[in-house]
Amino acid sequence: MAKNSYKAEDIKILEGLDAVRTRPGMYIGTTSVKGLHHILWEIVDNAIDEAANGYADRIEIKLYKDGSASVEDNGRGIPTDIHSKAGVSGVQVVFTQLHAGGKFDSGSYSYSGGLHGVGASVTNALSEWLKVEVYKDTVYAMEFRSYLDESTGKVKSGVPVAPLKNTGIKTKKKGTFVRFLPDKRVFETVVFSAETILKRLKELAFLNKGLTIDFYDEHTDYHRVYRYEGGLVDFVKYLNEGKSTLYGEPLYAKEEKDGILVEFAIQHTDAYVDGVYSYVNNIPTPEGGMHETGFRSGLTRSFNDYAREKNLLKEKDDNFLGDDFKEGLTAILSVKMQNVQFEGQTKTKLGNPEARPAVESVTVNELDALMKNKKLAKTFEAIINKAMNAAKVRLAAKKAKEIARASKSIESQNLVGKLAACSGRKPETNELFIVEGDSAGGSAKQARVRQYQAILPLRGKPLNVEKKKLEQILQNEEIRTIISALGTGIGSEFSLDSLKYHKVIILSDADVDGSHIRAILLTFFFRYMKELINEGHVYIGMPPLYKVYKNNVEEYAYDDSELQKKIEIVGRGYSIQRYKGLGEMDPSQLWETTMNPDTRTLMQVTIEDAAEAERLITVLMGDEVGERKKYIFENADFNKEDKFAKMKR
Ligand code: TSJ
């Protein structure tokens, strides 16, 4: 009786595995290289589970020359005794029974949305062979094969070669070893990628503190061991490597709430982008979901409360927005829970609504506890400071947007600040000269062709915003005037169609101040009007450095080598005038050398120039005094070896 039902059960089970082979896509999503790795992850996940439950602390993954792969842990070993319902060994159940919640069962796609969780039997079904060994005092062994059934012409999948056997061979090891050869008849490729595997193993090592993950590839004799005593803290530190962090140690917490285990680590850098990486049961959730939503609102609430308590936010101030705390934030959120539902485009978004309040509550609770720690006062202060800056920028950008909008009204067109607008209304031919200094600005106004040339003088050192945050240039009068004059708006509001001058020409002196102003302007355009540069509308005017003259002969030289040539042209008895600034030229000289389209030289600014300028400015304005000193030291010849002057003509 027992034997009969055991046989019947067996047949049904094998039909199940055959179904996997008939429609592999339903179980592993794809038979591409991604699917190939999926059947490896099924096995790895089982070993990770054993470790996560505290029964194993070491996992070895090996790639063999025959194309097979193996995974071994030092856990309790898959149960070897006879499973009461199935009537076969636990090992046989694991490799021949489709995981509950598998495809045919509910049609709910609950198999973790194409990620893991379909079970080791799917790996078996899609392999040519699979061997398992369990180490428990002695070595237990079993093997499965897929073979072509001559009578039906179909492949039978994952059939036991023999029941689980206790070999009697004594062993001191504990654990489970599984080796399998992916079936060439199933997969588009059966070549594992060591790179793909290493990337994931490293991630798993970060997510599972203290777990040793050992990888060996026979093809290349490459060996690698991952082990992170700091877990998520090490993960965050790794992601922030090479960046400048706002505080030394990441904040870390772990707590369970309503059956959901929540663990996170965060650390801010001085960057503007954020990197929040979330996981559910060790599976990445790049589309976010309920756990991430709860986490973000928890962070926002907690930090805002702290800012209020410490009077860093005054009564009249609005709360910081979530986005303000996101700037420069690197965070790992790892959640472990049951009955996971994945949603979204790529089924990588956590749908379980219960995750949201649980994670939010843990986040607030744990951060509040950390905030009571006096040693972390500096850390939280730095976070609030960063948010404060972000909020300032946000408000400044909003203001700038309003200015840009205002600038669109015809009324304000000719009335912006000290702008001497042109009379023509054809943007394609119109030029805007941004001129350093009032006196050069005055000359330019006299020299210009009013019809199509507009002049905007910049006061003495209007843009000397050193040591202030770059974003504050948006609050600068002159910059606002430029935004307003161009008519395009900035940032997300930018519209090239509304550009009123198709040539925007920066005219500054060939000295340190001049190149500083130029760099700031380029940085501004780079950050807020990138398209203006990309579309080739930004130019740098090239005033000459020397005038060589005699009686009524005048020749201009734009650099030292040209000076020699010009001296020869003018000949004996020449005089040289060195222009220290634009202001030393009279209107007619300025016209001829720098403004007249027939005789002037313009350098069109490329996006690389602007990016370089931004870097320079970031270093010069940054908080890192050391970096700044280093930069200035290395570029001590700033004046002569000016980046842009070098590129002229
Ligand atoms: F995927 C797999 F099945 F092939 C596989 C499972 C592969 C590898 C490399 C390891 C494992 C695995 C399974 N490692 N450890 C376990 N543990 C159990 O299956 C186990 C052991 C004891 C008990 C118990 O309740 O006593 C329960 C379980 C699930």
| Contact partners, residue 425, CB within 8 Å, separation at least 6 | none
The yes-or-no answer on residue 623 being catalytic is: no
> Is 430 among the domain residues?
yes
- Mean pLDDT, rounded, for 550-574: 91
How does pLDDT run across 297-338, given as a tens digit for each residue? 999 999 999 999 999 999 888 999 999 999 999 999 999 999
Q: Which domain holds residue 417?
A: 404-542
How does pLDDT run across 409-435, given as a tens digit for each residue? 423 444 456 889 999 999 999 999 999
Which CATH number goes with the domain that contains 75?
3.30.565.10
Does residue 232 come out as left (phi exceeding 0), alpha (psi in the -120 to 50 range) or beta? alpha
Regarding whether 444 and 368 lie in a shared domain, the answer is no
Q: What is the pLDDT of residue 493?
A: 73
How does pLDDT run across 92-125, given as a tens digit for each residue? 999 999 864 333 232 222 223 233 457 899 999 9
Give the residue from 363, 396, 429 where a domain finishes.
Answer: 396
Mean pLDDT, the chain, integer: 87
Regarding whether 145 and 121 lie in a shared domain, the answer is yes
> Is 625 among the domain residues?
no
Regarding whether 387 and 469 lie in a shared domain, the answer is no
Regarding whether 322 and 241 lie in a shared domain, the answer is yes
Q: Tell me the torsion sign for CA atoms 555, 560, 564, 565.
A: negative
Regarding whether 449 and 346 lie in a shared domain, the answer is no
- What one-character-per-residue DSSP string does 483-503 give? HHHH-S--GGG--GGG-S-SE
How does pLDDT run across 233-291, given as a tens digit for each residue? 999 999 999 999 999 999 999 999 999 999 999 999 998 888 999 999 999 999 999 99
Q: What is the pLDDT of residue 62?
A: 98
Give the residue from 172, 206, 226 where a domain finishes.
Answer: 226
Regarding whether 172 and 128 lie in a shared domain, the answer is yes
> What atom of ligand 1 comes closest to residue 132's alpha carbon?
4
Tell me which range, 440-444, 558-562, 625-629, is most confidently predicted by mean pLDDT. 440-444
Using the structure block, give the residue that is written with the tokens 């009324």: 411
The yes-or-no answer on residue 73 being catalytic is: no
**Beta strand spans in 250-348 (E):** 251-257, 260-268, 275-280, 283-284, 329-336, 342-343
Q: Is the CB of 73 under 6 A from ligand 1?
A: yes
Q: What is the pLDDT of residue 437?
A: 87
Counted domains in the chain: 3
CA distances from 142 to 16, 49, 94, 289 (A): 20, 22, 12, 41
> Is 351 among the domain residues?
yes
Q: What is the pLDDT of residue 626?
A: 65
Task: Report the candidate in 84, 181, 166, 89 with the shortest Cα–Cα distance to residue 133.
Answer: 166
**CA terminus-to-terminus distance, the chain:** 96
| pLDDT reading at 6 higher than 70 | no
Extract the tokens encoding 560. Answer: 């030292």
Name the helix (H) or strand (E) containing 549: strand 546-550
Q: Is the CB of 178 under 6 A from ligand 1?
A: yes
Q: What is the pLDDT of residue 103?
A: 30
Please identify which of the residues 511, 554, 592, 627 carries the catalytic annotation.
Answer: 511
> What proportions of the chain, in percent to the nearest 5, are helix, strand and coil?
40, 25, 35
Distance of alpha carbon 111 from the chain centroid: 29
Regarding whether 77 and 200 lie in a shared domain, the answer is yes
Which CATH number goes with the domain that contains 469?
3.40.50.670
**Burial group, residue 199, by CB count within 10 angstroms (0-12, 13-18, 19+):** exposed
Q: How far is the CA of 89 from the centre of ligand 1 (A)?
A: 13
Extract the tokens encoding 595. Answer: 């403004």
> Is 646 among the domain residues?
no
β-bridge partners, 554: 549
Distance, in Å, from the CA atom of 363 to the CA atom of 165, rounded to the nearest integer, reads 49
Q: Atom 19 (ligand 1): residue with closest C-alpha?
A: 78
| pLDDT reading at 605 higher than 70 | yes
- Mean pLDDT, rounded, for 630-638: 52
The yes-or-no answer on residue 270 being catalytic is: no
Q: Is the CB of 75 under 6 A from ligand 1?
A: yes
pLDDT band (50, 70, 90) for residue 546: very high
Regarding whether 473 and 385 lie in a shared domain, the answer is no
The yes-or-no answer on residue 255 being catalytic is: no
Regarding whether 236 and 221 lie in a shared domain, the answer is no
The percentage of the chain sitting over the pLDDT mark of 70, rounded to a whole number, equals 85
Q: How far is the CA of 345 from the centre of ligand 1 (A)?
A: 32
| Residue of 41, 49, 50 with the most ligand 1 atoms within 8 Å of its CB, for mutation | 50
Distance, in Å, from the CA atom of 206 to the CA atom of 200, rounded to the nearest integer, reads 10
> Is 630 among the domain residues?
no
How does pLDDT run across 325-382, given as a tens digit for each residue? 999 999 999 999 999 999 988 889 999 999 999 999 999 999 999 999 999 999 999 9
Give the residue from 396, 419, 452 where a domain finishes.
Answer: 396
Q: What is the pLDDT of residue 649?
A: 31
For 268, phi then psi, to 5°, come to -95, 145
> What atom of ligand 1 comes closest to residue 120's alpha carbon?
1
Q: What is the pLDDT of residue 474?
A: 66
For 555, phi then psi, to 5°, come to -130, 140
How does pLDDT run across 487-516, given as a tens digit for each residue? 888 776 788 999 999 999 999 988 888 888
Are the beta carbons of 580 and 511 closer than 8 angstroms? yes
pLDDT band (50, 70, 90) for residue 473: low
Q: What is the pLDDT of residue 294?
A: 98
| pLDDT reading at 550 higher than 80 | yes
Q: What is the pLDDT of residue 632?
A: 54
Q: What is the pLDDT of residue 128?
A: 98
- Mean pLDDT, rounded, for 583-600: 93
> What atom of ligand 1 comes closest to residue 44's alpha carbon?
9
Does the predicted TM-score (pTM) go above 0.75?
no
Regarding whether 254 and 152 lie in a shared domain, the answer is no
Considering only CA atoms, give the Rg of the chain. 35
Please identify which of the residues 509, 555, 609, 614 carries the catalytic annotation.
Answer: 509
The percentage of the chain sitting over the pLDDT mark of 90, rounded to a whole number, equals 68
Q: What is the pLDDT of residue 646?
A: 36
Q: Tell me the torsion sign for CA atoms 211, 216, 217, 222.
A: positive
- Mean pLDDT, rounded, for 594-599: 95
Q: Atom 24 (ligand 1): residue with closest C-alpha?
A: 79
| pLDDT reading at 217 higher than 90 | yes
> Is 47 among the domain residues?
yes
